Structure 1
Amino acid sequence: MQGQAQQQAYDRGITIFSPDGRLYQVEYAREAVKRGSASIGVRADDGVVLVVDKRIRSPLMEETSVEKIHKADNHIGIASAGHVADARQLIDFARRDSQVNRVRYDEPIGVESLTKDITDHIQQYTQVGGARPFGVALLIGGIEDGEPRLYETDPSGTPNEWKALAIGSGRDDIQQYLEDEYSEDVALEDAVGLALSGLGQVHDEGLTPEGIGVATVDAESGSFIELTNDEIEEYLVANDLLADEEDEEDDADDEQAE
């Protein structure tokens, strides 16, 4: 019993290291990320792609209310996995930071600089008592000096740069697919197909335009663009990922039966 009490003390205290050097609350926050629906980022030769699984739980839910892709600045997009409310706080921080940089220096903020500012903010919540870590991970993709960049943030406040990455549920399967299929000279349009195919690895029944979100940041224009459902459907058809209507009806019947 005494051992269990000591263990609980380490579990509850964000500012206390366990005897083996672990911060359990940060590790639990990572588990919250794993429970979130998947998000995928792919860095192409001429841009960055962000794809998210919206996980719409009911046909009565407005799909536009499920926000997992956000515009941080004209040249930067952010996708999240984990607690949506935590993600919104970090997105607001990122937008403020981007605007302050424009006002102060009269230039757009760099993708790396923005990522490190966000992770510095996240890290503070692993070191201050009376607060908990952010239960969310972010994929930050954009254009910096004409070059595509893709970063990941972690609940510990650690930034990492990636060529292609999946976060959230099904990460292992999607990441394995990306590692097998990714090429550094992939074009932006092909990168969209690659990311959608990666998401298809955890959706045997196929994908629907309403159930996913796709955004790109093109290196030539440096602009963040979120694709419409019609545009997403074209990519799904081209990559043979579109769910059959019969399967969708069967799924809806199963949900009603449950």
Structure 2
Amino acid sequence: MSSIGTGYDLDVSTYSPDGRLFQIEYANKAVEAAGVAIGLRCSDGVVLAVERMLHSRLLVKGANRRIQSLDDHIGMASAGLLADAKNLGNRGRDEVHNYRDSYDSPITVQILSDRMSGYVQAHTCYGSSRPFGISTLLAGVDNTGPRLFCIEPSGVYYGYHGAAVGKGKALAKTELEKVLAKEGGVTCREGVMEVARIIHLVHDDNKDKEFELEMTWVCAESGGKHKAVPEDLLKEAEAAARAALEEGMEED
């Protein structure tokens, strides 16, 4: 069968003879071309981080954030098309408010992931729409503990201890496996240091533009709320990441 979508990629509801939906594959390519996003489930919370590319020197520092808050205790990071992420974030906040109105309690991360994945999957069923060009990491701490889920453009979602999406995700996943293999697990403070190191490791200075490291967490230190990692800790993590990278280059 042909590997190109000639005639079968005109709308998302048309299957190719070998059962493929080419528009979903195109959405996955949009994700793979974006800066990496990483989620790490720690012993006392979760950490989210993204590699935010600086496409222009005229951009204001901190503009065009790729991590959003959906509820007090839930954050969302994405890799792919920023406009699609904003749209899905708005949908997520609507689901949070509807659940609170209906049940008078905060939504769990899994229920929110299930509802949002259904919305994403609905955009793969009708010719009048297109798939979301993003992979989404949902993370938070609820009554079941720290949780981390990844929603793909097809609408499928899985729970993870550590997840990476976007450019360089293969190397990032390998490094996350090493971190999670440590005895006793890692705390969120340790997770911040590790995730910063991984993002600097997967960033290719020769090919990629400069980037900003955006990082948030939900843990006891943040009061159980989804908040940005404190500036002093973030700077310490970036400095340690650069030092580790330089040390590794010297050893090579």
Q: TM-score, normalised by structure 2?
A: 0.87
SS in 2 for 1:8: coil
- Indicate the residue corresponding to 1:188 in structure 2: 188
User: Paired residues, what number?
Assistant: 238
User: Structure 1 CA distance, aligned partners of 2:12 and 2:239?
Assistant: 47
User: Structure 2 CA distance, aligned partners of 1:142 and 1:7?
Assistant: 38
- Indicate the residue corresponding to 2:70 in structure 1: 72
The answer to which structure has the higher helix fraction is: 1
- Indicate the residue corresponding to 2:52 in structure 1: 54
Please, which moves more after superposition, 60-69 or 224-233? 224-233
- Indicate the residue corresponding to 2:136 in structure 1: 138
Deviation digits for residues 160-193 of structure 1, max 9, x if unmatched? 1111111111111111111223246211111111
- Indicate the residue corresponding to 1:214 in structure 2: 215
Query: Is contact 1:200-1:241 (8 Å) kept?
Result: no
User: Structure 2 CA distance, aligned partners of 1:204 and 1:13?
Assistant: 35
User: Structure 2 CA distance, aligned partners of 1:55 and 1:242?
Assistant: 21
Query: Is contact 1:83-1:136 (8 Å) kept?
Result: yes
How far is 1:107 from its partner? 0.5
Q: Is 2:209 the partner of 1:199?
A: no
Aligned-residue identity in percent:
33
SS in 2 for 1:36: coil
Q: TM-score, normalised by structure 1?
A: 0.85
- Aligned ranges for residues 96-245 of structure 1 at < 5 Å? 96-183=94-181, 185-203=185-203, 211-218=212-219, 221-241=223-243
How far is 1:146 from its partner? 4.7
How far is 1:92 from its partner? 0.2
How far is 1:7 from its partner? 4.3
How far is 1:99 from its partner? 1.1
- Indicate the residue corresponding to 1:8 in structure 2: 6
SS in 2 for 1:10: coil
Q: In angstroms, what is the RMSD of aligned CA positions? A: 2.3
Query: Is contact 1:143-1:219 (8 Å) kept?
Result: no
User: Structure 1 CA distance, aligned partners of 2:129 and 2:220?
Assistant: 39
How far is 1:131 from its partner? 1.2
Letter matched to residue 120 of structure 2? I
User: Structure 2 CA distance, aligned partners of 1:133 and 1:172?
Assistant: 23
How far is 1:155 from its partner? 0.4
How far is 1:122 from its partner? 0.5
User: Structure 2 CA distance, aligned partners of 1:173 and 1:242?
Assistant: 16
Deviation digits for residues 133-168 of structure 1, max 9, x if unmatched? 000111000012150000000000001111111111
